[in-house]
Structure 1
Amino acid sequence: MLRLDKFLANMKVGSRSQVHEIIKAGQVTVNGKVCRSAKQKVKEDAEVLVNGQAVIYQQYHYFLLNKPAGVLSATEDSRQKTVLDLLKDQDRYQKIAPVGRLDKDTTGLLLLTNDGQLAHQLLAPEYHVPKTYYALLAGVADEETAKAIAAGLTLKDGTELKPGQLKILRQDKDHEQSEIEITITEGKYHQVKRMFASQGMKVLKLKRLSMGPLTLPADLAPGSYRPLTEEELVALKQVAL
């Protein structure tokens, strides 16, 4: 059970002080009765109305964001814009955070949630949640590159990487560039960039296309986000079992 003021504040009805004023004014009913006590305990499934409008309590929230370049995958930063700054005020729920991180210059799919347990499971190595990226490379990736990645790489600093899958989309030998898709099941620091650096190539652009069952929608503009659908959430929880 929750205090009524916390129930309403968590659901972004208003700030804690605003919620207190609403309650004092008699604008809130709980299970059909006016409640003027902010301290009253209410169940999460209680029928709570504010000025006749139902407030449905939802403990966890899940958003799929198309992260633009130049934004940090962090909850706060005193100098730079973070992914939470892209959320509307009413969607900035307590403890909401990105699941994992994309580098500042990396774009694409990023999950935001306040479901800490699910976030942990999606990032835990033992769950092997696949993540697919598109990359533009300085250098020509070929079948030898694909074989090396499929075998699992050992980086110069001794870091061992699990096998990945490389799909070559385009080779431009005249300009020494290539476009690829790569699928990995880990999320080590700068992993994709370091993988290709070990093969003598540089990542010029990097975009995450998918994470587990989640795929970046073609119509979701950079900087935009939307809630997960029920089907997406069910599928996501299945991979974390």
Structure 2
Amino acid sequence: MKETSLDRDLQNRHTVSDNNIIRLNKYLAMCGLGSRRRVEQLVADGRVKVDGKIAPGPWITVNDRSVVEVDERPIVPLKRIYVVMNKPRGCVCAVTDARYRTVLDLLPKKLWEYRPFPVGRLDKDSSGLLILTNDGDFANDLIHPRNNISKTYQVVLNRPIAAKDVVKWQKGIWLDDKLVRPKIVKAIDERRCEVEVYEGLKREVRRMAEALGYKVVELKRTKIGNLKLVSLKEGAFLTFSREELLQMVHSGGVI
């Protein structure tokens, strides 16, 4: 597995400066204690103290000088990590799974302590570009429709696709009572096409193909925004800083 020098220099923790005052619920989430909802429950249960006093609510603010404790143990935020992987077929986009190998199993154990999670969906039988991070705000920005970050897929169908069906696909397919209109549908050859979408619905590309009477036999994500998968081997990964990854997603990059 390939790693950048940044990965070798990772430190376990980072701090919140005096000038970066944040709400307690965000701080707790940055410490890897779970979602905003879960950490707010910790506060409601009286398990969180700030500077020796039980926190009155998740809305209070903290900074680098604050001493935050959960169950009488001091906590500090996890350092943020940003991983780009070429996911192989056969593993699931989950943190844990009782039946299948997960994408986290492809990472070295030294990265597990940062508690990364996959951003968005890529089902077990699909492959290609996948981002993992422990930065919830970054993940939300990446997948939220308002930011117009598209995902591009190479799709292999079970039979040749008719030109009229390419046109129908481009005009949009009804899924879950919603008209889902891809940004681009382009035939590459008889059975292979490129599909670029924004929504990120569950099994979106496969379901659109099925609605037209086709079955997807191979599905590979080749782009996230303007970040393009070219040479990174299946199962391999690279780490980046937040700024590096955002630059590639928005302005272009090749891995």
TM range (shorter): 0.5 to 0.7
Cα distance between partner residues in 1 of 2:90 and 2:192? 22
Instruction: Indicate conservation of the 8 Å contact 1:213/1:232, yes or no.
Output: no
User: How many residues are paired up?
Assistant: 182
Cα distance between partner residues in 2 of 1:210 and 1:149? 19
Partner of 2:208: 195
Q: Helix, strand or coil: the match of 1:170?
A: coil
Cα distance between partner residues in 2 of 1:150 and 1:191? 14
Q: What fraction of aligned residue pairs are identical, expressed as a percent?
A: 34
Deviation at 1:58, TM superposition (A): 7.9
Aligned partner (choices 218, 227, 249) of residue 214 of structure 1 = 227
| Residue type at the aligned position of 1:223 | G
Partner of 1:228: 240
Q: Helix, strand or coil: the match of 1:154?
A: strand
Deviation at 1:153, TM superposition (A): 1.4
Q: Give 1:40-189 correspondences, 5 Å limit.
A: 59-155=79-175, 158-171=177-190, 178-189=191-202
Cα distance between partner residues in 1 of 2:102 and 2:248? 27
TM-score (norm 1): 0.68
Deviation at 1:147, TM superposition (A): 1.8
Question: Deviation above 4 Å: which 4+ runs of structure 1?
Answer: 7-11
- Cα deviation 1:124-152 (Å, max 9, x = unaligned): 12222110001110122233222222222
| Residue type at the aligned position of 1:181 | E
- Cα deviation 1:187-236 (Å, max 9, x = unaligned): 11111011011111110000000111221131x11111011365433343
| Residue type at the aligned position of 1:222 | E
Give RMSD over aligned pairs: 2.7
Cα distance between partner residues in 2 of 1:142 and 1:185? 24
Cα distance between partner residues in 1 of 2:130 and 2:214? 25
TM-score (norm 2): 0.64
| Residue type at the aligned position of 1:217 | V
* Unaligned segments of structure 1, at least 5 residues: 1-6, 12-42, 45-56, 172-177
Cα distance between partner residues in 1 of 2:200 and 2:85? 18
- Cα deviation 1:28-66 (Å, max 9, x = unaligned): xxxxxxxxxxxxxxx79xxxxxxxxxxxx9831111101
Deviates more, 1:144-153 or 1:209-218: 144-153
Instruction: Indicate conservation of the 8 Å contact 1:62/1:112, yes or no.
Output: yes
Cα distance between partner residues in 1 of 2:181 and 2:147? 13
Instruction: Indicate conservation of the 8 Å contact 1:86/1:223, yes or no.
Output: yes
Q: Which of the two has higher C-alpha Rg?
A: 1
Cα distance between partner residues in 2 of 1:143 and 1:165? 14
| Residue type at the aligned position of 1:139 | R
Deviation at 1:97, TM superposition (A): 0.5
